[in-house]
């Protein structure tokens, strides 16, 4: 655990993750740690359960959108939401499918607070033979005051 209560680890550490952790959580940690843009953004796995996933985007100075504002760039929040949606899908199917984003509509309702980390939670609410439909929310200090919401569709590339 990190000082902020999140689970962060390298891809190598994720590969040797403790056997006491359930397979779904291990897979979620590996997915977040193993994706290059997740690692570049410093995304941290929070939780997953069938059809749901949650990831934290820690605030970093190099992820600021406009110099002097100390607010995370909307593109970083978009990447967080996209990855969290993927986690929600993977938590349903495991490694039997590789989801790819077909459509991602994000309503950026406000900027994240200065120097604030952002948390995203996604829910895969409908799955067809080839498409998964997901909703997501992102917030900084309070889930009651959202930074963004999203509606997405992913193709299911079965392995």
pLDDT(159) > 90: no
Q: What percent of the chain has pLDDT over 70?
A: 86
Task: Indicate the pairing of strand 44-49 with strand 118-127.
Answer: unpaired
Q: Of 84, 48, 25, 49, which Cα lies nearest the Cα of 9?
A: 25
The 10s digit of each residue's pLDDT in 35-78 is: 898 999 999 999 999 999 999 999 998 988 777 789 888 999 99
Domains in the chain with CATH codes: 11-158 (3.10.129.10)
Angle at 118 between CA 107 and CA 120, to 5 degrees: 65
Question: In angstroms, rounded to a whole number, what is the distance separating the alpha carbons of residues 11 and 15?
Answer: 6
Using a pLDDT cut of 90, give the percent of the chain over it: 61
Return the bridge partners of 64, or none: 72
Coil/strand/helix, residue 24:
helix
Q: Any alpha helices (H) in 16-138, and if so which ranges?
A: 23-34, 36-41, 74-93
Measured between alpha carbons, how far is 112 from 146 in angstroms, rounded to an integer? 9
pTM of the predicted protein model: 0.83
Using the predicted structure, report yes or no on whether residue 130 has a pLDDT greater than 60. Answer: yes
3 state DSSP class of 11: helix
pLDDT of amino acid 6 = 36
Rounded to whole angstroms, the Cα distance separating 87 from 83 reads: 6
Instruction: For the chain, give the mean pLDDT.
Output: 84
Query: How many whole angstroms separate alpha carbon 82 and alpha carbon 103?
Result: 10
The rounded distance, in Å, linking the Cα atoms of 107 and 63 is 20
* Coil vs helix vs strand at 68: coil
Question: Which token pair is 142?
Answer: 């309070």
Q: Is the pLDDT of residue 129 over 70?
A: yes
């Amino acid at each position: 655990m990190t000082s902020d209560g999140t689970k962060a680890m390298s891809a190598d550490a994720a590969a040797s993750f403790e056997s006491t952790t359930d397979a779904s959580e291990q897979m979620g940690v590996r997915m977040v740690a193993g994706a290059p843009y997740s690692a570049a953004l410093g995304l941290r796995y929070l939780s997953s359960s069938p059809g749901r996933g949650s990831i934290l985007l820690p605030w970093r100075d190099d992820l600021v959108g406009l110099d002097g504002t100390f607010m995370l760039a909307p593109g970083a929040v978009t990447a967080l939401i996209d990855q969290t949606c993927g986690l929600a899908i993977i938590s349903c199917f495991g490694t039997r499918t590789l989801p790819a984003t077909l459509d991602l509509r994000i309503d950026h309702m406000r900027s994240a607070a200065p120097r604030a980390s952002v948390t995203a939670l996604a829910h895969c609410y409908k799955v067809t033979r080839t498409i998964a439909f997901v909703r997501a929310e992102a917030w900084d200090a309070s889930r009651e005051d959202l930074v963004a919401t999203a509606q997405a569709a992913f193709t299911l590339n079965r392995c």
